[in-house]
Structures are given as structure tokens and as C-alpha cells.
């Protein structure tokens, strides 16, 4: 059989977005003007805006310039986390980040997928969970549904397609377990 994108139907998702069309529209331009736009480098203003749009964010969170966030009302960040320059949180579904988590520059968190086994190419979404102390390296991609156990590390440019064990260091595309992270 063949793909038929004209038969694509994601109306079920629209009721699950969790925000009115107006709220989505206002957030879209807020994201463009204050987050993606590097002319605003002030982290505190961004944290306040995220909270205003429904994100739950702890203390001491730093958000660098150029960040792109899809739906702040589906974002949970603990305390003392860093969201690096040009990080892209494409959270159609919940992204839950613990405390002391570092997401380095250019990383992408991806929660949307398509069912390529269906001719209607149905949208599929799955949450991402990053436990305390996780480090998502620069220019990496975390795929939909991935849970990274506490203090897991995804090294530069790696693509995480599966869950990551606590204190595991993962490298490559697709990412594989390399060694144990020992701290202190």
C-alpha cells in the first residue's frame, strides 16, 4: 500500500493540545520573539513567561538564547537545570525534566512520530522523561518515549532511540551504552 497524506487526520490530537487556539497563537509569537530570538538573552524573563503559559519550573533554572519550545503547558522542569543555546523542545507531549539536568546547546527533544505502517501516516506522540542529574549533550536528539534514568549521559551528537539506564553513558547513532558514569 501507499502513503496518502491527504487522508491524514490529527483531529484527535487537537483536543489533547491542552490550550485554546488563541493561547497557542499568543505562545507561538512569544516563543519566536523572546525565546528563539537571541536579542533577548535574559533568562529570568523567559522563566517567568514559561510559568505564565503553564510550565512548572523550579528554582535556579537557566534558559539560554535561541531556545524553541512547542507547548510550555506540557513542560515540567525541576530546580537548577540548564537549557542550552538553541535547544529545541518539540513537546507535543509532556517533557518532564528532573533537577540538576543539563541540556547542552543544539540538542533536540522530540515527542512526535508518525505511524509509517499506516497509509494515513497517523500522528503518534510519546513523552520524554529526564531524571535528576541527566546530561543531554550538544547536538543530540532524544526520540519520543525515551526515559533517561538519573545521571545518564548522552554524548555529543548522539541519537537516543531507547531508554537510557541510570548512570549510563551513551554514544553514537543510534546511541548505545558505553560505560558507567562514576561521580566523585
Among 50, 136, 151, 170, binds a second copy (CB under 8 A): 151
Nearest CA to 43 out of 8, 95, 87, 92 is that of: 87
9 binds a second copy (CB under 8 A): no
Please report which helix (H) or strand (E) contains residue 130, including its range: strand 128-130
String marking each residue 109-138 x if it binds a second copy according to CB under 8 A: -x---x-xxxx-x----------xx-x--x
For the chain, the farthest-separated pair of C-alpha atoms sits apart, in whole angstroms, at: 56
**Closest CB 92 distance from a second copy, rounded Å:** 11
Nearest CA to 142 out of 175, 168, 116 is that of: 175
Query: How many helices and strands (H and E) does the chain possess?
Result: 3, 19
Write out the residues near a second copy by the rule CB under 8 A.
1-6, 28-29, 32, 36, 38-39, 41, 60, 79-82, 88, 90, 100-102, 105-106, 108, 110, 114, 116-119, 121, 132-133, 135, 138-139, 141, 143, 150-151, 153, 155-159, 161, 169, 171-174, 181-184
Amino acid at each position: 500500500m501507499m502513503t496518502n497524506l491527504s487522508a491524514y487526520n490529527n483531529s484527535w490530537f487537537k483536543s489533547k493540545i491542552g490550550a485554546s487556539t488563541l493561547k497557542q497563537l499568543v505562545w507561538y509569537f512569544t516563543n519566536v520573539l523572546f525565546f528563539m530570538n537571541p536579542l533577548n538573552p535574559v533568562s529570568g524573563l523567559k522563566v517567568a513567561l514559561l510559568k505564565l503559559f503553564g510550565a512548572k519550573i523550579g528554582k535556579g533554572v537557566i534558559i539560554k538564547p535561541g531556545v524553541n519550545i512547542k507547548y510550555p503547558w506540557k513542560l515540567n522542569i525541576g530546580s537548577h537545570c540548564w537549557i542550552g543555546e538553541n535547544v529545541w523542545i518539540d513537546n507535543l507531549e509532556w517533557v518532564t525534566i528532573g533537577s540538576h539536568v543539563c541540556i547542552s546547546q543544539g540538542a533536540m527533544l522530540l515527542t512526535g512520530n508518525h505511524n509509517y505502517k499506516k497509509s494515513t501516516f497517523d500522528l503518534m506522540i510519546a513523552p520524554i522523561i529526564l531524571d535528576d542529574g541527566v546530561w543531554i549533550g550538544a547536538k543530540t536528539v532524544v526520540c519520543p518515549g525515551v526515559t533517561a534514568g538519573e545521571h545518564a549521559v548522552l554524548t555529543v551528537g548522539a541519537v537516543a532511540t531507547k531508554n537510557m539506564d541510570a548512570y549510563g553513558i551513551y554514544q553514537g547513532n543510534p546511541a548505545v551504552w558505553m560505560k558507567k558514569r562514576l561521580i566523585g
